[in-house]
Amino acid sequence: MIRECEFLNFNNYLQPNIDLKISTEMNFCSQIIFFLFSFLSLTQNILCQQFPNPVTLSTGQGAVGSLDPLWVVSPWYTNNPPNPIGLTYTPALINNNCAPGSWVDPASLTPPLNNGKWITGNDASCADNTSSGYRYFRLTLDLPADCNGQSIAGMNNYTLFLTGYVDNQISNVFVNGTATGISGGNFAAGGQLNMTLNGPWVGGLNYVDVMVYNIPSNGANPYGLLLVADGSATNAIDSDNDGISDLNDQCVCEPGDLPNGCNAALTGDTDICLGQSTTLNVATSGSVIWSNGTNGNSITVSPTQTTTYSATITQISGAIDNVSATVTVRPVFASTINEMICEGESFLYQGNSYSSSGIYTIPLLSQFGCDSIITLNLQANPNFSFNQSLSICPGESITYQGTTLNNPGSYSFEYQSQFGCDSTYELTLSYFPTPTTTIPQISCDTYFWITSNQTYNSSGTYPILLNTVNGCDSTVILSLTINETPAPPVLSATLPRCPGDLISLTAEPSPFPILWNGPNNFTSTTFENSFNIDFPQTGTYSATLNNNGCISLEGTIIAAIEYDKTFDDVPFPNTITPNGDNINDELRLAEYAMTCLPFELQLFNRWGNLVYQGTENSTPFDGKDQAGSLLTDGVYFYQFKVEGKTKSGFIHLQR
């Protein structure tokens, strides 16, 4: 039978460099102790204090690639390693068959011996391993102090039969650091090494260390261990003499009447709440008679108070067992709470808030986990609220409930209802609007305001009082700006001689902006304007001054060109008298004709000789030839070319 575990200080059993964490205190052997290795934070299972069925000790009981739940592994050692006690261990890796076709397939073993897999260290996949030498594979057992009444400290009082397959070989097997001298084995079918481990054992933690040697090799160097129960030897021994071999006995050191080698046990929930039922069960192949006269392996009971139930088991062999269990009945409570609150309040009970009228059923758990029913009858009484808004003119007041109010604001008057809940009258007092309106106005010279029926001649602010529809004062302010209309600007202009010459239009300086207008879409905002003038630009130019929208009368000026004639407008001169009296001494044709047209003049004597040739830019003819010599008085023939035309005639030279 599985024996109950004591509460152990497992730190007393730890090997150096292994950290142990216990999640909860253990009270039954079927629970698992978890080891947490400090550098991997991984867990490893150790069997609770019991004599395990050897089949449960196989390597690799888990998924390939996961950590072995039972077996751990030491570091590599190039030479013979030290004694396994005191070394550092990490969880082994379930690697299974790293050499298919060479290593024995664990699944091919005879059931129930086929529940394991090959294992290696977790530092490298066996196929990628390049390490060689020695390393230990460790199994930890937590054993009771005696087996079938015999102390396990004595040799042969408890024997464990195992079978191992290995790549490359097992060099030795240690029990609690004592070498057994067991060695050999290989990885092929039929190459297993059978191990008989009969001590020295101790009550508590025991260590079985299998030293594996991996022969050095270049490149990948697979290795591994497959260890299972020795089926033949285990099946041939009955440690507790109960007629069931250790291979099939789940309680190998305690004789039992059940087919699994254990004694019958009564199971079921023995702690219930009033009104609940529980089923008690006895696992046995024998006949069962319960204390209430019921036959069968199980009974379902609903006691109203704590009751002890017993069962008498008669095994097929005739052996009689008696088992019993006490079913403890825990009470269930029920109560009613009546409570009133006001609207907007809440009633807090057991961490829950209730704010609406109703009947609430509140289940609670007692210290034993049984339901306790609380019925809450909650009545939420209403609060009454009245709201009113009033307005007055500034300076006025109203009286309400004996209180004189003359300032805007919210005023609250509270009353108590019959249930003690607040009834509230909310008065919101405000002023009627008394607006002050400002009217901006800009005017030239004077302004007539129809609202006040007055004419104003100067800038300023002019307020008047009016009444609103509510009878309150309202202020209207005229913000008036009076701008003076400027006098017309005084204009002047230069007189250019020829078309294309520069003309200047000027206005006397003023603090006000100016705007010019003139022929050919001329506009300007400067007081002085210069440009090259032609005939389309001649004519009248006007300008005004602007004082913030107050526009002056126009000032005007005429722009003209002095020489605005052609040679067709005057006859060609027929006489020149270059006698030095400054009268008709030179033939100044441009001045004479008041034109700026380009021309060419040629003079010939009566023999047809050219005596003078010039243009509008040449020195005027003054009675001298081209060499500067005086010409004789007489008649000369001229040719005058202008605008593509040629005029000819005679001119008299007379001093």
- Residue ranges covered by each domain of the chain: 10-235, 266-330, 334-381, 384-431, 436-477, 491-559, 567-653
**pLDDT on residue 543:** 93
Confirm or reject CATH 3.40.50 for domain 567-653, answering yes or no: no
- Is the peptide bond between 100 and the residue preceding it cis, with omega within 30 degrees of 0? no
- Nearest CA to 471 out of 563, 396, 583, 402 is that of 396
What pLDDT, on the 0 to 100 scale, is given for residue 16?
33
- Looking at residue 506, what is its pLDDT? 95
Neighbours of 176 (CB within 10 A): 16
**Structure tokens of 171?**
């060099």
The rounded distance, in Å, linking the Cα atoms of 236 and 623 is: 168
Give the pair of three-digit tokens for residue 148: 């079938």
CA 410 centroid distance within chain: 45
Which of helix, strand or coil describes residue 191? coil
Mean pLDDT by 10 residues, the chain (655 residues): 32 32 30 30 45 93 94 94 95 85 90 93 79 94 90 89 94 96 93 93 95 87 92 88 87 79 81 90 84 89 91 77 87 86 85 88 80 85 82 84 84 75 82 86 90 90 84 86 92 89 92 94 94 91 92 92 75 86 84 76 89 84 87 88 84 88
Residue 634 to residue 616: CA distance in whole angstroms: 24
CB 616 within 8 A of CB 591: no
Helix or strand run (H / E) with residue 378 = strand 371-381
8 Å CB contact between 103 and 191: no
Instruction: Please tell me the distance from the alpha carbon of residue 148 to that of residue 153, in angstroms, as a whole number.
Output: 13
Residue whose structure tokens are 């990628």:
128
3-state secondary structure of 146: strand
Tokens of 114: 């086929």
- Local structure of residue 53 (DSSP, 8 states): -
485: phi then psi, degrees, rounded to nearest 5 = -75, 125
The CB density around residue 626, as the number of other CB atoms within 10 Å, is 11
Residues 6+ apart with CB under 8 A from 608: 637
Q: 491-559 sits in which CATH class?
A: mainly beta
Q: Which two tokens stand for residue 338?
A: 């009546």
Our CA dihedral for 455, 458, 463, 466, rounded to 10 degrees, sits at 10
Q: What is the Cα Rg of the chain in Å? A: 65
pLDDT at 564: 73
Show the tokens assigned to 559.
């722009």
Q: What is the pLDDT of residue 516?
A: 95
User: What pLDDT shows up at residue 19?
Assistant: 33
* CA distances to 143, 235, 245, 249, 266 from 260, in Å: 19, 14, 10, 5, 15
pLDDT of 628: 87
Q: With beta carbons less than 8 A apart as the criterion, state whether 126 and 98 touch.
A: yes
359-396 CB burial, b ≥16 within 10 A, e <16: eeeeeeeeeeebeeebebebebeeeeeeeeeeebeeee
The predicted pLDDT at position 593 comes to 64
Task: Give the pTM.
Answer: 0.43
420: left (phi over 0), alpha (psi -120 to 50) or beta: left
CA atoms within 13 A on the CB side of 557: 22
Instruction: Give the angle 627-629-635 at the CA atoms, nearest 5°.
Output: 110
d(CA 264, CA 261): 10
Select from 254, 278, 88 the least CA-distant residue to 158.
Answer: 254
Per-residue burial over 52-88, b = 16 or more CB atoms within 10 Å of its CB, e = otherwise: bbbbebbbbbeeeeebbbbbbbbbbeeeebeebeebe
Q: Let me know if 51 is exposed, middle or buried by CB neighbors in 10 A (0-12, 13-18, 19+).
A: buried
Q: Residue type at 320?
A: I
